[in-house]
C-alpha cells in the first residue's frame, strides 16, 4: 500500500521505489512488521490493543529506508556520472561493432537537450541524412531511443536490459 501511495504521489515513473529499500533490508522489515502486531506491553505503550512503541519503531525504520533510497537515487542520477556510464556503454558497443561510429554524440545531445528533432541528427553527427538515419535506427533497435512516430522528436529511453550498466544497483542482484 505504501509503495502504491508513494508511486502515485511522487510520479517517478517507477524509477524510485521504496520496495528496493525494503528488499535490501528484508529481515529487518519483516521483524518490524511482525512487531507491529504485538500487543502493548504496559499502560505507557499506547491506548489500543497493539503496541504503539513498535508501530513508531516501524515508522522510523520505514522513513529511514525512504531517505536511504532517495540518497541512493540522488547519487545514481548525478548528471556527470550518468552521462559517463551511458557514453562508456556506447563506446564499447561501437568498438564491438554493434553500433555505428559517432552514436554516442546522439546520446550526449539527448542527455543535454531532453529531446532531439530527427532533422538535427545529421548536424550533430556531422554526416549526411542517410548515415544519421542509420545511427538513429541502430540506437532505436538497441532500445535506447524512443519516438512517438517516425517524424516525432527522439527521446532517451532507459531499457531494463541496460539497467545494470546505466544505473548500477537499481535492481537488487539475486543469487543464482
- Same domain? For 25 and 92 the reply is no
Domain that holds residue 97: 79-166
pTM: 0.67
Per-residue pLDDT tens over the stretch 83-132: 999 999 999 999 999 999 999 999 999 998 889 999 999 999 999 999 99
Give the three-class secondary structure for 128. coil
Let me know if residue 55 belongs to a domain.
Answer: yes
Residue with cell 540506437: 139
Q: Which of 29, 46, 76 lies at the terminal end of a domain, its last residue?
A: 76
Domain boundary (41, 76, 111) is at 76
pLDDT in tens, 120-136: 999 999 999 999 999 99
Query: DSSP alpha helices (H): ranges in the chain?
Result: 2-10, 18-24, 26-35, 52-76, 79-95, 103-113, 121-125, 129-141, 163-166
> Residue 58's pLDDT is what?
92
Would you state the pLDDT for residue 30?
93
108 in the same domain as 53: no
Amino acid at each position: 500500500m505504501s509503495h502504491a501511495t508513494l508511486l502515485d504521489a511522487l510520479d517517478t515513473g517507477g524509477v524510485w521505489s521504496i520496495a528496493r529499500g525494503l528488499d535490501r533490508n528484508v529481515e529487518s522489515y519483516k521483524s518490524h512488521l511482525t512487531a507491529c502486531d504485538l500487543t502493548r506491553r504496559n499502560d505507557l505503550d499506547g491506548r489500543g490493543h497493539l503496541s504503539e512503541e513498535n508501530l513508531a519503531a516501524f515508522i522510523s525504520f520505514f522513513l529511514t529506508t525512504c531517505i536511504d533510497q532517495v540518497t541512493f537515487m540522488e547519487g545514481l542520477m548525478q548528471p556527470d556520472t550518468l552521462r559517463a556510464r551511458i557514453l562508456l556503454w556506447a563506446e564499447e558497443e561501437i568498438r564491438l561493432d554493434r553500433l555505428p561510429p559517432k552514436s554516442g554524440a546522439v546520446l550526449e545531445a539527448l542527455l543535454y537537450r531532453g529531446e532531439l528533432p530527427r532533422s538535427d541528427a545529421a548536424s550533430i553527427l556531422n554526416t549526411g541524412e542517410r548515415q544519421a538515419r542509420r545511427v538513429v535506427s541502430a540506437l532505436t533497435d538497441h532500445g535506447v531511443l524512443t519516438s512517438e512516430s517516425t517524424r516525432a522528436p527522439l527521446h532517451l529511453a532507459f531499457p531494463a536490459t541496460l539497467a545494470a550498466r546505466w544505473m548500477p544497483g537499481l535492481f537488487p542482484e539475486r543469487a543464482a
